[in-house]
A = this chain, B = another copy of it.
């Protein structure tokens, strides 16, 4: 393993992105995202993702200097057209107006369109919670998941995230895929020649299947939680695909046309302002949320982001460690982009 301070990791990420021609705003935004993932122990959203970012750029599937375009569409609705850039700048462009609208209207939505997306949604939920707001976010991905009772890929792994502000602690945040597991988890089982548990996927006839290759090549992944998770995944296709006028997961996969680039689609974010809902009683009610969190922890259950925050505390003190092979691959990218 190679140990890097967070500053070193950030500079390393920035230098790779810069070498390959991303504009300075994207360099900083993408580096911040992957360092946040690495810092929080989410290796799959960490420095590793730079490989996908550069591959997507080389495949011509992301614009290295796209300028997000902000549209004040309605009193409760902000739209940002990412114009084919990564989602981070679009989110940054829309966030201030989203927060302003949530504070004046009580609730507001931000639709991000035409972005290339790989950021974990908790990064965005954290920004919204830090602004004192509650947030919800979701997006389609690419069609790998069958609806419950079905047999063929239709839904994406469609993440759903929620954030809640806390004045004396890091925010309450969850961010989960509506698939039973990440696609990468099934890939790992295939590589290791191991069977997957029941409930992760089906074969081409819709039968429960424990062979990872069959699930990935002929069948489909399954949603979490049976028909309930499946219903949530359909909702995400509708709200963060159709309603915002952007691609569904099936359309996103077709758009990709086998390039295996990072997915191109939209995202919906909703912000709600406790102050606007609760007025002078806000502090008293927010204290009741703390009572709820204490009651969860008192019985030995974890708050959703607890593991991530523990990893963060360690990384802030000790830096992060990445596998030497990944480090060499990333250094290779730095060389490849030179000159």
**B residues less than 8 Å from A245 (CB atoms):** 277-278, 281, 285
Q: Which residues of B contact A150 (CB under 8 A)?
A: 296, 299-301
- A168-B253 Cα distance, complex, nearest whole Å: 28
Report B-chain residues with C-beta under 8 Å of the C-beta of A77.
105-107, 276-277
Q: Which residues of B have CB within 8 Å of A239? A: 134, 272
Report copies per complex: 2
A237 to B134, CA, bound (A): 13
Q: Is A12 an interface residue (CB 8 A)?
A: no
A interface secondary structure, majority: mixed
Contact A276 B162 (CB under 8 A): no
**What 1/0 mask marks residues of chain A from 297 to 319 whose CB sits below 8 Å from any chain B CB?**
00111101000000000000000
- Taking a contact as CB atoms under 8 Å apart, the answer to whether B104 and A74 are in contact is yes
Q: Give the contacting residue for A151; candidates B74, B149, B229, B299; CB below 8 A.
A: B299
Q: A221 on the interface (CB 8 Å rule)?
A: no
CB neighbours of A238 from chain B (8 A): 134, 164, 172, 289, 292
Q: Say whether A116 faces chain B, with CB atoms less than 8 Å apart.
A: no
Q: Say yes or no: is A75 at the interface (Cβ < 8 Å to chain B).
A: yes
Are the C-beta atoms of A285 and B242 separated by less than 8 Å? yes
Known: A174-B235, A231-B176, A242-B289. A301 touches B149 (CB 8 A): yes
| Listed A/B pairs (14) with beta-carbon separation below 8 Å | A73-B276, A75-B106, A134-B239, A147-B296, A172-B238, A176-B227, A206-B300, A227-B304, A239-B272, A242-B289, A243-B285, A244-B277, A251-B288, A270-B270
Contact between chains at B76 and A108 (CB < 8 Å): yes
